[in-house]
Every structure is written in structure tokens, then in C-alpha cells.
Amino acid sequence: MLPASFNAVVPMLCAGAGALVVMLAEAWRRKGERFPMALLAFIALAATGISLIFLWGRNQVSFEVVTADNFAVFVSLIIVAAGLLTVAFSTQVLERDGIPEGEYYALVLFAVVGMIMMAMANDLLVLFVGLEVMSLGVYVLTGIRRDNLAGIEGAFKYFLLGAFASAFFLYGIAFTFGVAGSTRLDKVAAFLAAQSMTGNPMVLLAMGLLIVGFAFKVSAVPFHMWTPDAYEGAPAVVTGFMSTGVKAAAFAGFVRVFLAAFEPFKADWAPALMVLAAATMIVGTVVGVAQSHLKRMLAYSSIAHGGYILVALVAANQLGKAAILFYLATYAITNLAAFGAIALLGSKDSARDGLHDYAGLWYSRPWVAGLLTVALLSLGGLPPTAGFIGKWYVFSAAVSSGYYGLAIIGVLSSVISVFFYMRVVVMMYMTDKSTGAAPTPVRGVGMVALVVTVAVILYLGILPTRVLNLAAASIGSIF
């Protein structure tokens, strides 16, 4: 057995071991032999999830730099859920599109390891390594269809700007290290709280560079350029995974660094994040309205959703902190449902991601159309779905902290965003059957996963108290 000091890293070990087994199984597979890679990945992720549940409430710390407090466990559970649903959607899609199974599942699992590492990191260097492990996996997943030019081009843009942002992030770590003499977040926090460093240019520079690095990863405007291209080029299942997992992990790091270590400087960083949040919400919705390509439209929608989470981070009162976690959970489940439905409806020759491909979907595939409708309504924030409750808490947190402007911009932009979600719904129900080929039938594991996500969306929309209390309890005691 592992010594007790390893407790906090057990979830990462589970997912990492799963990834290695999948990789070896692929290498030793005889030509033509079938191997249940998806099942292996599913088991590894389930083990990760179970080990996370065991860590709940125990505040385990490993090697002084990996901490499995309830906040990290909550975010990690969101990440594992995203991974499990992605695997479930992928089973049908990979075979159809001819994507190599072994590489795909191994990369998904490695990316999950990186994401959990980010969520649990209590040291800026660990955070950086986690960020890179996650990003490298996702870059490759974006371009996994090598014969598809759009996929490779999206992957390159994502890689280029991601690596560029990593350098900024690392420079921020260097200055933090230079000021505080350590990369450990608790030591940085203690140092900054003890000394009165207000206005110290080196600290401000460090914070600015760290904000740029995180803003790239959570695709905040004006650092969002890669998002639409990467989301459009990637296969829809991968887009679902990276729009939720990457965002959850990056926000976990963002929250931990700025609410734990740089809390004494809130007066300096809050205005910068306020501007980012406002720009992100406005650009995400306004440009989203002009899109006629569903995946691209959802990419802009996910940029806007990042802006709402930033609002909660700026507000950062008790309500706001709980709202960050709750919003991440609702956003993740909703986006996975939407991209899962898109992925399952496509075929090898056509990705079916233009808006007009959804004309009359209600007549050919009524079940999928119904499920997709719930997901889109939740993204738009209409009751009784999860998205409504999430937005409600974010905006009430902003109002109770006195950020009226942000709350108003948020409400207005979510009203505008309803327009483009409804456009898809209208397309599905009120247009005649499209003349093209009928969409791929959805059945099996993919359909089960879709039903589960929609059930969770409705559950979180109608009975949110339980999860909201968990979110509040997990974050309130830490920051």
C-alpha cells in the first residue's frame, strides 16, 4: 500500500495509470484485434471519481504542494464527470470518424491528470506543470484528425497562443518567486500579508503576467482569439471536453492563486478583472449573434460564460465564491450535453455543424432535438434549467458586493444570448425537413449519456439547494 502522504495524489495516479494501460494496450494490440479501450478509460475515470469522493472532507495534503481540500475535490469531480461523459459520447463517434481509439483515450486521461493537478496545486510550479500536462494533451486532441485541415489548423492556433500564454504565466511565476522567495502559495500569501508591499511594481507585474496567462486559458477577451478556431476545428466530442474541463481547471487555479495568495492585493487586481469580465461578456454575446456555424456560435457562448464566472470571481463574497463552483458545474454539464448531441448527430463526411443542418431536426430525430433544446435553454439561462440558477447566483453576488455595472452588463448580455440559442431551437421545430441526408441515429451509450446530462440539468435547475450548499461549504472554509 501507498504511505498516507500519497493520499492526495491517488486520484491523479488512478487516471495516469489508466492512461498508461490504454497506451500499452494500443501498442501491444495485434493488427485487427479489438480491445475495449473505452471501457478501460471508463474504469480508470470511475476509480478516480471514487478516490475523490473518499478524499472529501479530509483535507489531505501530499508533499506539501498538492492539497485535496474540498474545493479541489469539488472541481476535480466536475472534471472527472466531464471525462466520463466524453468517453461515453466518444464510443460511437470514434468508430464512425475513424479516430484512433488508443491515442484518443490515453490523451483524454492524461489531460484529466493535468486538470486535477491544476485544481489541487498549492504551488505555482505544480500549477504550471499541471497546466502544461493538460494543454499538451488537449492540443493533440484538437488536431487528432490529421487528414482534416481545419482540425490541424485549429490545433496549431491553439498551440501557438497556448504556448505564448504559458510563457507569460511562467514569467509571472518568476516575479512572484523573486518577490516572495518561494513558489508555494501559502508562503507567498504569508509573505504578502506580513509585509506592506502595496504598490510594489514587481508584485503588480507578477499579478499582471499571471492574469494574462490565466485569461488565455479561460479565454477571456481580449485573449480569446484561439477559442473559436480551436473549438470549430476540433471534433465535437473534444470541443465538449476542452470547453468544460480546461475551463474548470483554469478557473480553479485562477481562484486559488488570486483569492488565496494575492488576496491582500484585491484592490489592484479586481478592477483589471472587472474590465476583462465586462469585455468578455459583451464580445462573447455580440459576436456570437453573428455566427451561422453552430460550433463557432457555442464557442462564443462559452467565451461569454467565462465572463459570468469572472464576475463571480470579482465579487468574491461568500455568495460569489459558492456561485463560481456552482456555475462551473452547471456550465460543464450543459455544454457537454450540447456538444455531445452535435457530435452524435454528425457523420464522417459532414460534421453537421452549420445552423441550417438543424432545420427540421424535430421531425427526423425528436428525442435528440428535445434533449438539445433543454441544453440550449440552459445555456441561455431560462428557468427551470441549471443555467438559470447559476446566473441568478452570479448576478446576485455581484449586486450584493456593489458591482451594479457588471450585473447590468451580465443580464443584458444574457438576454441577447437567448436570441442565438433560440434561433437554433426555432430552426429545429419550425422549419420544414431539410433536404439533405437524415442525421445519424443516436443510440446506445451516447443516448444514455445524453439523457443523464439533461436529467442533471433539470435536477440542478429545480432542486439546486443540495449542490449549492456543497459548493458553499467546500469553498467557504478555504478562502
Partner 1 sequence: MIPLGHYLIVSAVLFAVGSAGVFMRRNLITILLSIEIMLNAVNLAFVAFGRHAGIVDGQIIVAFVMTVAAAEAAVGLAIVVALFRHRESLNPDAFTSLKW
User: Residues in the site for partner 1, rule: CB under 8 A?
Assistant: 125, 128-129, 132, 136, 139-140, 143, 146, 149-150, 152-157, 159-160, 163-164, 166-167, 170-171, 173-175, 177-178, 181-183, 228-229, 232-233, 287
Instruction: Compare residues 150 and 478 and give the one whose CB is closer to partner 1.
Output: 150
Per-residue DSSP letters for 89-106?
Answer: HHHHHHHHHT--HHHHHH
For the stretch 381-391, what's the b/e string if a residue is b when 16 or more beta carbons lie within 10 angstroms of its beta carbon?
Answer: bbeebbbbbbb
- CB 221, min distance to partner 1, A: 14
- CB 137, min distance to partner 1, A: 9
d(CA 299, CA 142): 14
- CB 56, min distance to partner 1, A: 30
Instruction: Compare residues 175 and 326 and give the one whose CB is closer to partner 1.
Output: 175
427: cell is: 430552426
Instruction: Compare residues 291 and 401 and give the one whose CB is closer to partner 1.
Output: 291
The label of the residue with cell 454539464 reads 333
Contacts of 441 (CB under 8 A, 6+ apart): 365
Instruction: Compare residues 139 and 421 and give the one whose CB is closer to partner 1.
Output: 139
- CB 129, min distance to partner 1, A: 6
Q: Is the CA virtual torsion 76, 476, 307, 217 positive or negative?
A: negative
CA 301 → CA 287, 292, 446, distances in Å? 9, 13, 24
Are the C-beta atoms of 479 and 263 separated by less than 8 Å?
Answer: yes
What 3-state DSSP class applies to 293?
A: strand
DSSP 243: I
Instruction: Compare residues 74 and 139 and give the one whose CB is closer to partner 1.
Output: 139
Instruction: Compare residues 266 and 293 and give the one whose CB is closer to partner 1.
Output: 293
- CB 12, min distance to partner 1, A: 17
- CB 284, min distance to partner 1, A: 13
Instruction: Compare residues 159 and 251 and give the one whose CB is closer to partner 1.
Output: 159
What 3-state DSSP class applies to 319?
A: helix
- Closest alpha carbon to 234 in 350, 150, 347: 150
Instruction: Compare residues 154 and 320 and give the one whose CB is closer to partner 1.
Output: 154
In a 13 Å sphere around the CA of 162, the CA atoms on its Cβ side amount to: 25
- CB 114, min distance to partner 1, A: 11
Per-residue DSSP letters for 220-262?
Answer: -TTS-THHHHHHHHS-HHHHHHIIIIIHHHHHHHHHHIIIIIS
Instruction: Compare residues 120 and 442 and give the one whose CB is closer to partner 1.
Output: 120
Contacts of 34 (CB under 8 A, 6+ apart): none
- CB 467, min distance to partner 1, A: 35
- CB 200, min distance to partner 1, A: 15
- CB 93, min distance to partner 1, A: 20
- CB 234, min distance to partner 1, A: 11
- Closest alpha carbon to 55 in 88, 26, 80: 80
Instruction: Compare residues 162 and 439 and give the one whose CB is closer to partner 1.
Output: 162
The label of the residue with cell 474504469 reads 43
Are the C-beta atoms of 102 and 37 separated by less than 8 Å?
Answer: yes
Q: Please state whether the peptide bond connecting residue 3 to the residue before it is cis, i.e. omega within 30 degrees of 0.
A: no
Are the C-beta atoms of 476 and 318 separated by less than 8 Å?
Answer: yes
Are the C-beta atoms of 36 and 90 separated by less than 8 Å?
Answer: no
Instruction: Compare residues 105 and 226 and give the one whose CB is closer to partner 1.
Output: 226
DSSP 439: P
C-alpha 173 chain-centroid distance: 23
